[in-house]
Structure 1
Amino acid sequence: VGADLARQEATINEVHLDGASVALKRDVKGQLDLANLMVGAPPTPPSPPAKASKPEAAAHWKLALKQVLLDEIALSAIDETAKPALKASAEKIRLQFQLNAEQSGDKLKLTLADADFSLAGLALKSGAQTPFKLARFGFSDGAFDLDAHHATVNRLYAEGGQLELTRDRKGQLAILDMLPKAGAPGPAAAKPAATAAGAPWVTGAKSVELSKFDVAIEDQDSAIKLRVQDLGVRLDDASGDLGKPLKFDVGMRVREGGQLSARGKVVPSSGALQADVKINQLALAPLQPLLSQHVRLKIAGGNVSAQGRLSMAPPGTREPSLRYAGGFDLAGLALDEDDGDRFLAWKSVRADKLTASVGPNLLDIPVLRIIEPNAKLIIENDRSLNAARLLVQADPAATPAPVPVAAPAAPKPAATAAADPFPVRIQRLRFEDAKLDFADLSLRPQFGAKIYDLNGVITSLSSRRDARSQIELDGRVNEFGMARIRGGLTPFAPRDYTDINVVFKNVDMVSASPYTMKFAGYKIAEGKISLDLQYKVRNSELEGANQIVIDNLTLGERIDSPDALKLPLSLAIAILKDSDGRIDLGLPVSGNMNDPQFSYGAVVWKALGNLLGKIVTSPFRALGSLLGGGGEKLEAIDFDAGSDRLLPPEREKLKQVAKILAKRAQLKLSVPGQYSEAADGAVLKTRLVRAEIAKRAGVKLESGEELGPVDLGERAMRGALRGLYADRFGSEELDKQKKAAEGAAGVVAAAPAEGAAQADAD
């Protein structure tokens, strides 16, 4: 220690305090217990008032501490104003600095230099909880100048932090409730005038480093929990000037999987940000509680990665308030149902380049790739979709009651804009090796089909209602079938415009048998089906043209079904099959999609039922139409009454029927014997009478010969008739008929004579 009393200067080379313990307490009234460290002095009698004298000049002195070292200091503190009481502790506190102080008049100059500070084992406890721990904290090369309002450090660091952040259902952080509450404000102290007149404080740190932080995050509202590990933050050239850009570098790991990093600049005062961000395989599993609030699915796998440029612009600028430009990859997604069955999965949904912004809102993706998606679509027993079954219904009791409003508020224009969908534009959506597992559990037996290797592109996907997309997709159905989709539509308003061509080729009908059984009442023993389906929709009006080709169809056993067509399907199939075993049908359909009863499947099957009904009720007409032979003329082969001789026009009809049957080898034509009792009976009776007359008249006829006209001018014919009549009705009846005939003949003969006489008179 060196001192110069004359010059009022003192120099101390070293002050060293080692191994001390400090305990602080703040009671429930907010009072610190520092006063208890002082020993109270005995009371002294009041001194008589001093005589007025001239004020002495303020002392002038200097003090220099070349080295102050506080080492291995332990600190414990308790604040009882918090409930429960908040306890803080730290150990291995070390503080080293140089101090220079000078008093000149009323002005005090104080500087600190070469300041180093460190501590270890800092912990905050609230009851049984320890929401914050810090392994090490400190700074180096610190400098402080009270007169110049200047405070800087070269390096400020914190290492090994452990922090628990819990957000309650009200949106409040639990750690804030553990901190002491602010007491009632006391009387406002007068602000020293020097503060207003003095220069602003300049503070800064060449580098600020946080490393190896561990943060446990819990959101009680969504039940999301995750733990951030190895959180590191580095700030370069940090200062108290919040309008100055601040360089930062942030990196962290997530215990559940994934890493995040960001590097860039931020302006604290405005929030302006420019940063390069990278997310590497961030696990989706922590989002399970949030997903469970909406659907009954479990996240069995999946992670998200992204790399790009993130920017934030302050209000009042022309730039988007938030913008991301870069890549995105949602990989390895796997969603399982509660029973463990896989519902949806894909290898990757990736965009190598995208732009997303808020204010204005926009998501623009040039190319979005969906690689190896695998989805399950099931029609349940009640004909509902499995996706609908997985939805979690909202609890009506949890819905907040409407708040009464005193008066109706005027509509705000912003509300309409908020209701608009977020603008989305995907220029090309590319599917690679997609797979769809389809099943219909409402059928008996249940049916399933799988579409593999679905590849193709959908262009110009947009949330705009009038935006039209083009589709080109190709896939494989089961083992040897093919699927192809071509056309266009407005994705968000398909009833406004749809023009789609869907083609299925060589699809095994045995696997599709339940559909045929459901509507036709038969199992399928064998067959391949190909479909060419045209869907054209304009303003909700459907006009469809479907071409159906079935090869080698063979029906199996009949199955009872309430929806089955009540038709002789075997006959219809035999009529429709050509000589190669192929059925080729055109099936136009139409309907209004705004009709609540409209169902495309019902429309198709109704059209098919009508077609089959016409075929089985008018088979030859159908055959003629199919083969171009004028089928309406083949409905019947006409014969003369009582004759089995085929007339030439009817022979032509039979020739056409023969050609048809040659092309329909599986079609069997049975012609049962038929006759008309009225028409054929009359002719046959006449033929028998004529044959008997010829016999009695002595006319000899060869087999199959007709008598020809009966000439009553021949005596033999008249005798034959009289004999036949007498045999059938008796001689007396013959005499009556003879007299009646003679009388009638006499009257008829007299009439011409009278007429002739009159003519002669004339």
Structure 2
Amino acid sequence: MSSSSLQRVGNYLRTRWVSPHRIRFWLLVLLTLYTLLGFFGLPWIIQYFAVNTIKEDFGRELRIESVKTNPYTLTLQVNGLQLADRDSHQLLAWERLRVDLNWNSITNKAWTFQSIQFDNATLQEERFIDGTTRFSLLAEELASEPSNDGQAGSPPALQIKQLAVNNSTLRFTDNLQQTGSDTDESEQVLLALQQLSISLKNVALQQDSSSPLHLTGQLAAGGRLAFDGKVKLLPAPALEGTASISKLALKQAEPYLQQFANVQLDSGQLTVNGQINIDQQQPFAFLGLAIIDSLSLRDRANDQALIGWQSLSTERLDLNLADNQIETDPITIKELSGRIVIREDQTTNFSQLLTEAPEQAETNTSQGDKSDPFNITIQGIELAEGILQFADNSLPLPFSTRIHTLKGELSTLSSSSSEPATIKLEGEVANYGLAQVDGAVHAWHPMRQTNVHLRFRNLQIPEYSPYTVNFAGRKIAGGTMDLDLNYRVDNNQLDGENNLLLHDLKLGEKMASSDAMDLPLDLAIALLQDNDGVIDLTLPVSGDVGNPQFDFGKVIQQAIGDAISSIVTAPFSFLANLIGADSEELAQVEFINGRADLLPPQRQRIENLREALKQRPKLVLELAGPFNPNFDGPALQQQKAIEALRQHLAEKDSEVSNKPSLTAEANQSAVEALFTRYYPDTELESVQARFTEDQNEFDSAVTFDALAYRSYLARQVVEAQSVAAEDLKTLANARAEAVKIALIEHSDSTIAADRVRILEPQQADTLDNERIAMKVGISAD
């Protein structure tokens, strides 16, 4: 083209296309391009770059149903977004996101949004066994991406007048390592917060700028959350306001509880309402009421109940993590129910509940131990209408009882004070028994300071037969029991005293038990039971409760065993204490040789024995008459010789006294006759000659010592008497009979004849060769 032609074209363009008259045309063109780009180009660009950036830079898949923009109202709407993780697990989705940007963002030099609104959004997080989560891994990848200048800049200026999340859902999947497993096997826990609505107003990334926040949501498994307050983002996140949790189903926490205890959480609802505060200085603080309703915990091993209640509540729960402190107003527990079981191997249903914590939990625990302990203060605990079930299956006979209508209170419990809490509880045992507890105990250091008095009244003893079988191999057939148990623990040293009152106790059949002590219970009961059928027994108990070998049950068993053994091995000491007598005098009755009559000192002993028998109506005395051939034989020979003389005199029609003398002159001829009978080969003249002698050499007269002669004859007659074993036994039985008669025949009161039994005679030693003693035996009726 020639230069003239080019000149013509240039002139045409200057006069036709860039003429001021054509400005409106160009504006229209620009407006058209802006409109096309804003309505059609920008949505495509946003969708294209978002999808490809997520895929290429982060290896994840992003799907967007549609993007709409309005270049005139500066609104953006993203519909049907779905973000998936590397394994196609959905991370984030929403039905609609609408962003309304204000034009004054240009003049304010800040991103100013009139509103940002999420509708039907879903956020799905998952935690893995190693503690990482899907979003934490994504955040690490985002943080690893280099910034434009390589430096972290200050946050952009941002203002949002209205931020809303409507009808959305948060889902959390937690992979918990199976308890006691060393493998990677896990248990999945699914938690979901639905119908989530969040409203934030006047959000600004400015120092100390706070925004009103309102949140509500419904947990899928039960429970509603709400918050109404303020949130601050800079200089550090902070939250303050009123929070409430209404009827939160605790069943959702069961998998976490099972990480540490082998329990099943059947039911329970948590309700809290109060003020919360979170800021840079305060990790978490809560002040308000707390209620746990309808709690029920069971043992997973056997599906049996452990503990529960209808309601546990406090009007004020003050939790402050900055100060490591928890404080509550009095806690009220209504209709507490508990079950304590001693198994066959003597472990309890609570002792084996704790499980071996997973490795991660153990690590967290060890780290937590480094922090300061919590100071816990509970202003008191009030119980109403509680029930405790107790069973002991370790005994030969399984035992079970129930304490119901349990009520009472504990005073302030404080972990930071040395002051113990006072206890006052009362409940009913079985049908007609009563249980009361008074005292003081330091809840956090019970072995350092405890003083408790337990009272039980009108317990039906047959129900406790399993313990007597295990203790002494006997059942209980009847009776009631009152117990006063006093326990004091000071620096691990137990010093206690147990008082037992047993009414109308009756033993039942014997049963085999490997742990039973060899105790004569029948005799012990007869010794202990008074006229009213009451046994009053005091048992001291002591020991070092800090010693790993300390066994409280064995301490009590040993105390009872020692008390019974001391009584049955020294029964007369026990009886003597009852009547203020000498135990040795009660234990024996003495006789002189050959006689069965009771001398005055012995009659006094029998009076004391009678008094003891009156106070112990179940006791039976056993009398085995004593004899000793060397001690009683000569006396019996003397008696037999006198009896022979009396009979001889009677045959001669002579006057006979009750006890004729063998040496009396009047009886000389009778004694000579007896001598001749027993010694027929001995002439009387030769015997008389022994006692005849001349007076002197100058006098032919002789003298005869008649008294010596008669005494000799008497001794010979006595020695001629034979004493058979039956004679000795007859004497022994006479002695026992004399004591029995003295006991059962008395003007003031009598003792039943069947309470004094005469046993076979027994040979006994003499006392100082002057007396022989009959040992009094004791047995039970």
In the superposition, the TM-score normalised over structure 2's length comes to: 0.76
One-letter code aligned to 1:86: E
**Within 5 A, what are the aligned runs for 1:93-492?**
93-98=67-72, 114-126=73-85, 128-140=88-100, 142-146=102-106, 148-175=108-135, 177=137, 185=146, 188=149, 202-221=157-176, 223-269=188-234, 270-315=236-281, 320-338=282-300, 339-393=302-356, 418=370, 420-464=372-416, 466-492=418-444
3-state SS of paired residue (1:491): coil
Q: 8 Å contact 2:324–2:372 — kept in the other structure?
A: no
Residues 254-306 of structure 1: per-residue CA shift (max 9 Å, x gap) = 10111111111222122333211101111122222222222221111112111
What is the match of residue 739 of structure 2? none
> Structure 1 residue 514: deviation in Å?
0.4
Residues 112-144 of structure 1: per-residue CA shift (max 9 Å, x gap) = xx4333332122234533321111111346224
Residues 619-672 of structure 1: per-residue CA shift (max 9 Å, x gap) = 344234345565553222333332232333333333343344344444344434
The range that moved more, 668-677 or 430-439, is: 668-677
Aligned equivalents of 2:587, 2:436: Cα separation in 1: 41
3-state SS of paired residue (1:143): coil
Q: Give the share of equivalent positions with the same residue, in percent.
A: 25
Distance 1:734 1:133, change over 3 A: farther
One-letter code aligned to 1:706: K
What is the match of residue 706 of structure 1? 659
Aligned equivalents of 2:147, 2:225: Cα separation in 1: 46
Q: 8 Å contact 2:457–2:483 — kept in the other structure?
A: yes
Aligned equivalents of 2:99, 2:214: Cα separation in 1: 19
Distance 1:686 1:289, change over 3 A: same
Between the two structures, name the one with larger relative contact order (CA 8 Å, sep ≥ 6): 2
3-state SS of paired residue (1:637): strand
What is the match of residue 513 of structure 2? 561
Aligned equivalents of 1:355, 1:513: Cα separation in 2: 49
One-letter code aligned to 2:504: N
**Within 5 A, what are the aligned runs for 1:526-541?**
526-541=478-493
Aligned equivalents of 2:304, 2:539: Cα separation in 1: 38
Q: 8 Å contact 1:25–1:79 — kept in the other structure?
A: no
3-state SS of paired residue (1:289): helix
Distance 1:594 1:687, change over 3 A: farther
3-state SS of paired residue (2:522): helix
One-letter code aligned to 2:63: A
Residues 515-569 of structure 1: per-residue CA shift (max 9 Å, x gap) = 1111121111111111011112233332222111111211111112222232221
Q: 8 Å contact 1:378–1:440 — kept in the other structure?
A: yes
**Within 5 A, what are the aligned runs for 1:586-735?**
586-626=538-578, 632-693=584-645, 700-701=655-656, 705-707=658-660, 712=663, 714-732=664-682
> Structure 1 residue 417: deviation in Å?
8.9
Distance 1:465 1:647, change over 3 A: farther
Residues 564-601 of structure 1: per-residue CA shift (max 9 Å, x gap) = 23222112212222222222222222333344443332
> Structure 1 residue 475: deviation in Å?
0.7
> Structure 1 residue 177: deviation in Å?
4.6
What is the match of residue 760 of structure 1? none
Residues 471-520 of structure 1: per-residue CA shift (max 9 Å, x gap) = 10101111111100111122222332222110011111121110111112
3-state SS of paired residue (1:386): coil
3-state SS of paired residue (2:629): coil
Aligned equivalents of 1:157, 1:234: Cα separation in 2: 9
Aligned equivalents of 2:403, 2:435: Cα separation in 1: 8
What is the match of residue 534 of structure 2? 582
The range that moved more, 443-452 or 144-153, is: 144-153
**Which of the residues 451, 457, 477 maps onto 1:525?**
477
Q: 8 Å contact 1:224–1:287 — kept in the other structure?
A: no
In the superposition, the TM-score normalised over structure 1's length comes to: 0.77
Aligned equivalents of 1:183, 1:545: Cα separation in 2: 72
The range that moved more, 719-728 or 11-20, is: 11-20
3-state SS of paired residue (1:216): strand
Q: Return the structure number with greater helix share.
A: 2
One-letter code aligned to 1:96: N
Q: 8 Å contact 2:117–2:163 — kept in the other structure?
A: yes
Q: 8 Å contact 1:24–1:77 — kept in the other structure?
A: no
The range that moved more, 657-666 or 449-458, is: 657-666
3-state SS of paired residue (2:505): strand
Distance 1:124 1:144, change over 3 A: farther
One-letter code aligned to 2:121: G
Aligned equivalents of 1:612, 1:276: Cα separation in 2: 66
The range that moved more, 512-521 or 655-664, is: 655-664
Q: 8 Å contact 2:342–2:391 — kept in the other structure?
A: yes
Q: 8 Å contact 1:527–1:553 — kept in the other structure?
A: yes
> Structure 1 residue 6: deviation in Å?
6.7
Aligned equivalents of 2:296, 2:90: Cα separation in 1: 37
> Structure 1 residue 214: deviation in Å?
0.9
Residues 690-744 of structure 1: per-residue CA shift (max 9 Å, x gap) = 3334555777445xx3346x5x4x4345555554444434544977776666689
Unaligned 5+ runs, structure 1: 27-31, 35-74, 99-113, 401-413, 747-762
Aligned equivalents of 1:398, 1:387: Cα separation in 2: 21
Aligned equivalents of 1:145, 1:394: Cα separation in 2: 54
Q: 8 Å contact 2:116–2:163 — kept in the other structure?
A: yes
Q: 8 Å contact 2:275–2:288 — kept in the other structure?
A: yes
One-letter code aligned to 1:236: K
3-state SS of paired residue (1:616): helix
Aligned equivalents of 1:415, 1:394: Cα separation in 2: 14
Distance 1:84 1:268, change over 3 A: closer
The range that moved more, 4-13 or 121-130, is: 4-13
> Structure 1 residue 210: deviation in Å?
0.7
Distance 1:158 1:276, change over 3 A: same
Aligned equivalents of 1:33, 1:572: Cα separation in 2: 98
User: Does residue 5 of structure 1 match 2:27?
Assistant: no
> Structure 1 residue 470: deviation in Å?
0.8
What is the match of residue 461 of structure 2? 509
How many residue pairs match? The answer is 656
Aligned equivalents of 2:69, 2:425: Cα separation in 1: 72
> Structure 1 residue 94: deviation in Å?
3.2
**Which of the residues 44, 63, 84 maps onto 1:88?**
63
Q: 8 Å contact 1:149–1:201 — kept in the other structure?
A: no
One-letter code aligned to 2:243: V
**Within 5 A, what are the aligned runs for 1:28-43?**
none
One-letter code aligned to 1:336: R
3-state SS of paired residue (2:329): strand
Q: 8 Å contact 1:464–1:492 — kept in the other structure?
A: no
3-state SS of paired residue (2:212): strand
Q: 8 Å contact 1:81–1:181 — kept in the other structure?
A: no
Aligned equivalents of 2:371, 2:110: Cα separation in 1: 52
Residues 434-479 of structure 1: per-residue CA shift (max 9 Å, x gap) = 2111111111121111111111111121224733111101011111
What is the match of residue 72 of structure 1? none
